[in-house]
Amino acid sequence: MPTLDYQDKIAVLDLGGDENRFSPDFLDQVGAHLDTAVADGAQGLVTTASGKFYSNGLDLDWLGAHAERADWYVEQVQALLARMLTFPMPTAAALPGHAFGAGAMLAIAHDYRVMRADRGYFCFPEVDIHIRFTPGMAALIQAKLTPKSAVASMTTGRRFGGIDAAALDIVDATAAETAVTDTAVALLAPLGAKDPGTLAAIKNTMYATAVAALTA
């Protein structure tokens, strides 16, 4: 279950201790915590997890049992990605473990990423599990990664450890397991308070193409 806490003025959203798949309930809980962080006037947001997964992405079991709601479900996932991409405060994803598929996309939607150096994988497995990227998901990844990194991650299904992910600028920094969240907080703390309306407007302009594709 996602929980929200604070380190000084930085909101820390822990996605949970299991695979943290994007069930509808999970998406609702994350959305509510994001609302709280904004209402509380947090100066930054770090998302992390307390288990061996940051997030394994789409809840394929739920989707298989509710195939008739697939379009609605994808819209909810993409709405979260678009919201994170344009969130009105600095954001950082702290990856203490695996980030796969849409979980990796959520990490990419943050301003910064810190990944555990010694264990855990960052992976877009879609090519190997025969799932196409939606136009919105592809636009998100390509908005945040260089063409070289996008090809390396989107077309191969490769599992990147922290050091390799940093070499391709998929993540901004690596850290020991016990320091991942603190390192992410340390990236945001010096930025101080930003006007939410101005920052959101800047991000919406920077990522207009991706936002349009995610919310189409």
pLDDT band with cut points at 50, 70 and 90 for residue 16: very high
Query: What are the tens digits of pLDDT across the range 84-94?
Result: 999 999 999 99
**Those residues with Cβ within 8 angstroms of residue 131's Cβ, 6 or more apart along the chain or in another chain:** none
Residue 159 φ/ψ, nearest 5 degrees? -95, 115
Residue 66 φ/ψ, nearest 5 degrees? -135, 50
Q: What is the CATH number of domain 3-215?
A: 3.90.226.10
- The pLDDT, as a whole number, for residue 166 is 97
The count of residues in the chain is: 216
The proportion of the chain whose per-residue pLDDT surpasses 70, expressed as a percent, equals 100
- The pLDDT, as a whole number, for residue 117 is 95
Please name every residue paired with 92 in a beta bridge, in sequence order, or none if there are none: 46, 112
- The pLDDT, as a whole number, for residue 6 is 97
Contact call for residues 76 and 27 (beta carbons, < 8 A): yes
Please name every residue paired with 93 in a beta bridge, in sequence order, or none if there are none: 47, 113
Query: What are the tens digits of pLDDT across the range 22-41?
Result: 999 999 999 999 999 999 99
Query: What are the tens digits of pLDDT across the range 189-212?
Result: 999 999 999 999 999 999 999 999
Domain segments of the chain: what residues?
Answer: 3-215
Within 10 angstroms of residue 127's Cβ, the number of other Cβ atoms is 15
Query: What are the tens digits of pLDDT across the range 89-146?
Result: 999 999 999 999 999 999 999 999 999 999 999 999 999 999 999 999 999 999 999 9
DSSP per-residue string spanning 176-212: -GGGHHHHHHHHHGGG----HHHHHHHHHHHTHHHHH
Mean of the per-residue pLDDT values of the chain:
97
What is the pLDDT averaged over residues 48-74? 96
